[in-house]
Structure 1
Amino acid sequence: MIVRRMQDILNTPRDVQAKTWCSRRLLLAEDGMGFSMHHTVIYAGTETHIWYQNHLEGVYCVQGTGSVELIDTGEVFKIEPGTLYALNKHDNHMLRADPEGDLHLICSFNPPLVGTEVHDENGVYATAEQMKQKAA
């Protein structure tokens, strides 16, 4: 059994920080679950371009409000507590948090993240194999 508490993840390598978000990585590839799980905070009033070409992601909102816009179609979907959205087609999108407060999301990735990923210039996370090749 794996038991982790948020206070044990903060300020560790599993607490990944970026300009518009932070991701507390609760489960990673090394945990052997076949998916990874994260508590992601999108900072109030920000937008983040994301395009997971190598991963599928399911996202569940637990706090805050915002929107997700599909780049290809221009469709915009409101996000509020209790909303789930799944990027089941490697959707190119903009994620926005309303200015009134941070957007707290529980996210799962398949394949699982290794833990150090951040979005590249196209909003993409590299696969574990791609990360190994870059490190070699």
Structure 2
Amino acid sequence: MIVRHTAEEPLNPVPQIPTVKGKEIVAPGDGMGYSAYEVVLGSDGNDVLEYGGPGCTSNHMYYCMKGSGKCVLANGKEISVPADFFMGFSSAVKCKITASEATRLFCVFSKDNEPSEDRVVTKPLSEVIGTDRDVDWGSGFSRRFLLRDDKFGVSVTLTSVFTRPETVNGVPMWYKNHKETAYYINGNMTYQWEEGKQEASFRPGGTAFMMNKNDPHRALPKEESLKLCVFYPALVGNEKHSFDGGYSVYGAAE
């Protein structure tokens, strides 16, 4: 397990976009199959985020946690970007994101094995809620913006974690077939791993828990919490947890 607190991370140029500074959430060397950063446009000299097109090699994905702005693609298409809005682009798609106010973005980069100008996914959270991509995973809801069929190699979700009587002793989970980052952005959450020998808790500003060794772990919510999750490889779509004894395990992709 790797634990990274956003407030403790320095503000550095994002490797894929050196003109933009951000805080490292998932480093390329963490062994997760992707990297992730938090960027605030409209502050610290970050005026424009621009990536994609010739010379780029990574799928690039963005979730707007706060603020608003716009995204313009190389073909001239303009996309309004409010809070709780997701965008996913192939490396072949060039985008330019600008903010109309201070805008907090969660940015994910993954290897693009099949660049395509047609691989574009944009949707607000409201278009996911209530659909088959809104999965009751067992102790909250997993709103899944990307699945395996979207061909990005990873899944990005916004997931709620509820406090329930059955979660007093923790929610036992074990991703044998996926590397998962759970980036908590609010709430009150503690993770335990190595059979309870190791423990870390959420800190204001954001905390990432990375199951880089497919670590069996327990999530102990002390109040309703919210996290952005990235899974590698991507989820098929209908995975959910069963807590009928032991650690819940997601099945392997078929």
Q: Flag whether TM exceeds 0.5 (same fold).
A: yes
Report the alpha carbon displacement of residue 79 of structure 1 after superposing the two structures with TM: 1.6
**2:206 aligned with 1:87:** no
Quote the Cα distance in structure 2 between the aligned partners of 1:71 and 1:16: 28
Contact 1:20 1:43 in 2 (8 A): yes
Q: How far does the alpha carbon of each residue in 1:21-79 deviate from its partner, in whole angstroms, 9 at most, with x for none?
A: 21001111111101001111110353311000111001111111110000435211102
Contact 1:113 1:127 in 2 (8 A): no
Corresponding residue SS for 1:3: strand
Q: Which amino acid aligns with 1:13?
A: D
Contact 1:50 1:123 in 2 (8 A): yes
Report the alpha carbon displacement of residue 19 of structure 1 after superposing the two structures with TM: 3.6
The TM-score normalised by the length of structure 1 is: 0.86
Q: Which amino acid aligns with 1:67?
A: T
**2:250 aligned with 1:125:** yes
Corresponding residue SS for 2:126: helix
Q: Structure 1 or 2: larger strand share?
A: 2
Structure 1 unaligned spans of 5+: 130-136
Q: How far does the alpha carbon of each residue in 1:105-127 deviate from its partner, in whole angstroms, 9 at most, with x for none?
A: 00000010011001245311012
The TM-score normalised by the length of structure 2 is: 0.47
**2:190 aligned with 1:61:** no
Give the 4+ runs in structure 1 shifted more than 6 A.
none
Report the alpha carbon displacement of residue 14 of structure 1 after superposing the two structures with TM: 0.3
Quote the Cα distance in structure 2 between the aligned partners of 1:113 and 1:18: 13
Q: Choose 102-111 or 18-27, whichever is displaced more.
A: 18-27
Quote the Cα distance in structure 2 between the aligned partners of 1:126 and 1:116: 10
Report the alpha carbon displacement of residue 20 of structure 1 after superposing the two structures with TM: 1.4
Aligned match for 1:39, one of 148, 158, 166: 158
Structure 2 unaligned spans of 5+: 1-119
The one of the two structures with greater contact order (alpha-carbon pairs below 8 A, sep at least 6) is 1
CA-based RMSD: 1.5
Contact 2:137 2:239 in 1 (8 A): no
Look up the match of 2:57.
none
Larger radius of gyration: 2
Quote the Cα distance in structure 1 between the aligned partners of 2:194 and 2:217: 5
Quote the Cα distance in structure 2 between the aligned partners of 1:18 and 1:24: 10
Contact 1:117 1:125 in 2 (8 A): yes
